[in-house]
Structure 1
């Protein structure tokens, strides 16, 4: 009786860590569908509404000041140490290293650079868009506010929108964006939403950001994730260029030169020599050139120059070709 050994959890882990023999064909690349475009437009409109509400010093700014005067870090001081560590999940350096390590393993296992290139593209978009908004609006934070009730815009600050919140949305949301199955995408989307929400509220608890900064940071990060399918063709071209460069570099190190196509040589068949007894009556004899007269070949000095009216050489009694006016065996040159 044959029994099969049950795989342990460690066996399954090692099987998961094994590299696949070739790139999987089921990798799902998100496309910019109409639903995604409509969601992107709605999110962009919400982004503009938040900025306008802060610029005109609306109820949102008054809510910011009320939360600041509430001082959550004094109301719940017992969780201060935990929040100090939790907010690190929104810092760009540590989170980028952790996510890059995971996506690097996926790239190695699946023989593709798309996970790492998607992460690099999203972080580049994050730095450009959020950094430009911070510098352009120049809002001061709660700890540096100058006038009670004002929006603190245009005073040289750099907290609007919240970089911690936007970074948490992008770095943890990229895992859901690159998920292989719909179920994994749903679970990772929920996990990234909870993580980024906790990071944003942690900055409000510590008093480093206004509540409106966190709202705009969430929206800014979501815009980057929604816009990523527009950059998928660029990611694919970059991946192909990197692989081509790698192949050329390997060939150069190995000292191999791509071989030129060798010309096809057609074997020449030599006809066997034919003897006098083997000549068939149907065999063709080579024709003489047009400019040669038929008959035996003679030297140039022995030939008689001819013209259409006859020979110009005076008659000679010993000439065996006959006297002037007799028929000549030579024909006029054509």
Structure 2
């Protein structure tokens, strides 16, 4: 249901823009995470958080997206599906769409990061989370493109893997103190809206819905 992520995205964006009371959730979460991290004092968890965060970078997320588009196109051609080239085009367009969705918002909201340092002239803000959006869209679209060329069991596994990767990146960013929680949640909502729209398109299925 697109209403839920759309409503959440509008609400969070409004609160960030006006420095509203909802941002108290960010401060509470950051304090709780820092206390937990201090109590556990786990180098392994800290390295895991950083590693998960890195999965939301342009590398490896964008190469995975493009490779999935190429593989889905190849599988579509072998299966005799109409417009077998379309998955590759969708992957390329998605790679270009991500910065168009994130960068203007970062510049407009100009939200300081968790450490509170003021932004330098020309510096982008932290809202929404670029790594979370990149992970959600790259791995999510990759799963959607490949899912339409495989069976039901593999399709469920692809969707689950994409969801776990996007969730892991967001949690890693919050754990590592790289982003506020609401930066991450907003990007999950933004990516979810795009994925819901894309899921309705016949990217590689036969036109009769099979």
Bin the TM-score by the shorter chain. 0.7 to 0.9
State the distance in 2 between where 1:171 and 1:230 align.
17
Structure 2 SS opposite 1:44: helix
Indicate the residue corresponding to 1:69 in structure 2.
Answer: 31
Indicate the residue corresponding to 1:198 in structure 2.
Answer: 168
Q: Is contact 2:51–2:172 with CA below 8 Å preserved after alignment?
A: no
The answer to which structure has the higher helix fraction is 2
State the distance in 1 between where 2:103 and 2:112 align.
15
Indicate the residue corresponding to 1:158 in structure 2.
Answer: 125
Mapping 1:207-286, distance limit 5 Å: 207-228=177-198
CA displacement at 1:68 relative to structure 2 = 2.5
Indicate the residue corresponding to 1:173 in structure 2.
Answer: 140
Structure 2 SS opposite 1:142: coil
Distance change >3 Å, CA 175–CA 183, structure 1 → 2: farther
- CA deviations on 1:45-94 (whole Å, 9 max, x unpaired) are 22101112333433421121123334254344421122222222111221
Indicate the residue corresponding to 2:208 in structure 1.
Answer: none
Indicate the residue corresponding to 2:51 in structure 1.
Answer: 85
Q: CA RMSD in A?
A: 2.8
Q: Is contact 1:130–1:220 with CA below 8 Å preserved after alignment?
A: no
Mapping 1:4-15, distance limit 5 Å: none
Indicate the residue corresponding to 2:207 in structure 1.
Answer: none
CA displacement at 1:229 relative to structure 2 = 6.0
Distance change >3 Å, CA 74–CA 114, structure 1 → 2: farther
Gaps of 5+ in 2: 78-83, 205-210
Which protein has greater RCO, CA pairs closer than 8 Å, 6+ apart?
Answer: 2
Indicate the residue corresponding to 2:17 in structure 1.
Answer: 55
Structure 2 SS opposite 1:90: coil
- CA deviations on 1:113-162 (whole Å, 9 max, x unpaired) are 2222111122222211111111111111012346xxxxx9xx95421011
Mapping 1:132-143, distance limit 5 Å: 132-143=104-115
Find the structure with the greater CA-based Rg: 1
Structure 1 segments of 4+ aligned residues over 4 angstroms from their partners:
229-233
